[in-house]
Amino acid sequence: MEQDGGKITVTIVGGGLVGALSACFFAKRGHKVRLYEYREDIRTAEYARGRSINLAMSVRARAALAVVGLEGALVREHGIPMRARMIHSRNGERRAIPYGTSEQCIYSVGRKYLNEVLLTAAEKNPNVELYFQHKMVGGDLSKGEINVEVINSEGSKKQMMVKADLVIGADGAFSSVRKQLMKQPLFNYSQTYIEHGYMELCIPPKKSGDFAMEANYLHIWPRGNFMMIALPNQDCSWTVTLFMPFEQFKSLDTPQKLLDFFNHFYPDAVPLIGEDRLVKDFFESKPSPLVSVKCKPYHVGSSAIIIGDAAHAMVPFYGQGMNAGFEDCHIFDNLMTKHKNNLKKALEEFSDYRNPDAEAICNLAMYNYIEMRDLVNHPSFLLRKKFDMFAHWLMPNFWIPLYSSVTFSHMRYSLCIKNREWQDKVLHRSMYFLSFATILGISAVAYKCQDTILNIYTSMIRSAHQYF
């Protein structure tokens, strides 16, 4: 369907972070938007279910929020800057590893607050309608149709069909819209669960109401095969996330075993969390799984597309899932401008352009788990980090370290990997060249001083003869 310059109707499935932002983008263009969210409205719900209480936000998400005028409210006024990783060793020592230059930082933002602000901003537009407790259960995406199950206040369900020019699937890692795409020929899909799960705990504020640890850091307790991290919250508490193999979670089946484990691996965290709270929070929750999803293409003809976690769920170790999802909205918006609202062209280009980048960040996120839980303790990693920072300081536009390119630049994720591969090549070749030059230098000196060396050698042999 060609909508050259005209207004279209859009159905968005999912009112999480990406769906709500996508509604803001389409509303800004003047299109008619209907958003269907399975859960209750989190702005009024007594208890909001969901994952991670806070998230690390960096430039990709900020750029998208800036387009819809929300960057100030969400990041500069609400976000807590984190300038470095603070590494906690088992003996209680702490050491900071900066993320980038002194001006660069990532922000800790509350998921609920972010989602609420986005929904309210979307709803302010007269051309947006939000429907909660409406679950997409099927449909024919090639016709822009979805079937929605409505749950009324008495708990009874009814179904209806909704039709639009464009269906956007922003319904997360277990997307129902993606399930419909899977029925299309030539749709490729893979998912990987890692053997580690995660559980959220909490470090409360001090009695004085202050942060119990240095704020403005993302705290990490790397322990080889598992780790714990903590991000600051607005109320001066910390959301602590424990990542470890499910087997290990299972083995901690009594309060004593849990406390022994924590006192052994995270001794400085125990008094901060408090023994009673640790035991209560741990045994009241269950570890959640982590999945990585890759698929292609993201669209069906000119009538449907998936974005955010629905298209590329990733493990959370680069802090890029939401950033990438927000960048999807931004990129798609640019493509709508480029193709003058021609959906067929915009959808096709989105799939082709975005897929290599989405797969790249899924791969990088997997890699970063090893870096966070283990490599940060290795001297070779720290040496490389220092070299990268120095080279970046010397040549800011020429030598951009991998982490900085992903977190503080808009470089395509696939190019971030290529850039790192090129840097590795330059460093390896420089090492070879340096070793070769050193050997050459030593040989030249040896050649120049051969008489002296010969004299030393002869006198050594003579003195040796005296002993035999």
Ligand X SMILES: Cc1cc2nc3c(=O)[nH]c(=O)nc-3n(C[C@H](O)[C@H](O)[C@H](O)COP(=O)(O)OP(=O)(O)OC[C@H]3O[C@@H](n4cnc5c(N)ncnc54)[C@H](O)[C@@H]3O)c2cc1C
Alpha-carbon span 12 to 245, nearest angstrom = 35
The residue within the footprint of ligand X, chosen from 139, 172, 232, 401 (CB under 6 A), is 172
The residue within the footprint of ligand X, chosen from 31, 32, 135, 330 (CB under 6 A), is 135
How many residues in the shown chain lie near ligand X by CB under 6 A? 33
Q: Which is nearer to ligand X, 320 or 342 (CB)?
A: 320
Task: Report the nearest approach of ligand X to the CB of residue 14 (Å).
Answer: 3
Q: Which is nearer to ligand X, 258 or 365 (CB)?
A: 365
Chain residues 61-120 in contact with ligand X, contact rule CB under 6 A = none
Quick check: 348 binds ligand X (CB under 6 A)? no
Handedness of CA 101, 103, 108, 114 (dihedral sign): negative
Chain residues 181-210 in contact with ligand X, contact rule CB under 6 A = 198
The residue within the footprint of ligand X, chosen from 59, 136, 181, 201 (CB under 6 A), is 136
Q: Which is nearer to ligand X, 100 or 321 (CB)?
A: 321
Q: Which is nearer to ligand X, 19 or 297 (CB)?
A: 19
Chain residues 270-309 in contact with ligand X, contact rule CB under 6 A = 308-309
Contact map string, positions 215 to 244, toward ligand X, x by CB under 6 A: --------------------------x---
Task: Report the nearest approach of ligand X to the CB of residue 310 (Å).
Answer: 6
What separation in angstroms does the CA of 131 have from each of 38, 325, 364? 9, 21, 36
Quick check: 359 binds ligand X (CB under 6 A)? no
Quick check: 43 binds ligand X (CB under 6 A)? no
Q: Which is nearer to ligand X, 3 or 115 (CB)?
A: 115
The residue within the footprint of ligand X, chosen from 53, 55, 97, 227 (CB under 6 A), is 55
Helix (H) or strand (E) holding 347: helix 343-373
What separation in angstroms does the CA of 200 have from each of 102, 123, 156, 432, 441? 30, 31, 33, 46, 57
The residue within the footprint of ligand X, chosen from 322, 362, 400, 406 (CB under 6 A), is 322
Quick check: 18 binds ligand X (CB under 6 A)? yes
The residue within the footprint of ligand X, chosen from 79, 139, 297, 321 (CB under 6 A), is 321
Q: Which of 351, 365, 364 is nearest to 295 (CA)?
A: 351
Give the number of other Cβ atoms within 10 Å of residue 448's Cβ: 10
Task: Report the nearest approach of ligand X to the CB of residue 179 (Å).
Answer: 9
Residue 288 region, left (φ>0) first, then alpha (ψ -120 to 50), else beta? beta
Where do the DSSP E strands lie in 246-393? 288-296, 299-300, 304-306
Tell me the HSE value of 204 on the side-chain side, using a 13 A CA sphere. 11
184, 174 in Cβ contact below 8 A?
no
- Strand 238-245, strand 188-203: pairing: antiparallel
What are the residue ranges of helices labelled H in 154-293?
A: 176-181, 246-251, 255-265, 270-273, 275-284
The residue within the footprint of ligand X, chosen from 3, 176, 233, 292 (CB under 6 A), is 176
Quick check: 212 binds ligand X (CB under 6 A)? no
The residue within the footprint of ligand X, chosen from 10, 325, 329, 401 (CB under 6 A), is 325
The residue within the footprint of ligand X, chosen from 302, 303, 323, 355 (CB under 6 A), is 323
Stretch that binds ligand X, among 37-45, 375-383, 400-408, 438-446 (CB under 6 A): 37-45
Stretch that binds ligand X, among 52-60, 246-254, 357-365, 440-448 (CB under 6 A): 52-60
Task: Report the nearest approach of ligand X to the CB of residue 406 (Å).
Answer: 11
Supply 389's token pair: 């920072």
Quick check: 357 binds ligand X (CB under 6 A)? no
Q: What angle do CA 115, 119, 125 make, to 5 degrees?
A: 155
Torsion of CA 221, 222, 223, 228, to 10 degrees: 50
Quick check: 163 binds ligand X (CB under 6 A)? no
Stretch that binds ligand X, among 120-128, 165-173, 357-365, 366-374 (CB under 6 A): 165-173
Quick check: 147 binds ligand X (CB under 6 A)? no
User: Rounded to 5 degrees, what are φ and ψ at 299?
Assistant: -130, 165
What separation in angstroms does the CA of 120 have from each of 20, 38, 42? 9, 17, 11
What separation in angstroms does the CA of 436 have from each of 191, 383, 426, 439, 448? 46, 22, 15, 5, 18
Helix (H) or strand (E) holding 32: strand 32-37
What separation in angstroms does the CA of 338 have from each of 12, 150, 195, 333, 342? 22, 37, 42, 9, 9
The residue within the footprint of ligand X, chosen from 127, 303, 320, 405 (CB under 6 A), is 320
Quick check: 139 binds ligand X (CB under 6 A)? no
The residue within the footprint of ligand X, chosen from 170, 220, 335, 358 (CB under 6 A), is 170
Task: Report the nearest approach of ligand X to the CB of residue 36 (Å).
Answer: 5
Q: Please tell me the total number of residues recorded for the chain in this structure.
A: 468
- Strand 80-82, strand 106-110: pairing: antiparallel
Contacts of 416 (CB under 8 A, 6+ apart): 360, 364, 402, 405, 406, 409
Stretch that binds ligand X, among 33-41, 79-87, 342-350, 404-412 (CB under 6 A): 33-41
Residues near ligand X (CB under 6 A)? 13-19, 36-39, 51-52, 55-56, 135-136, 170-172, 176, 198, 241, 308-310, 316, 319-323, 325
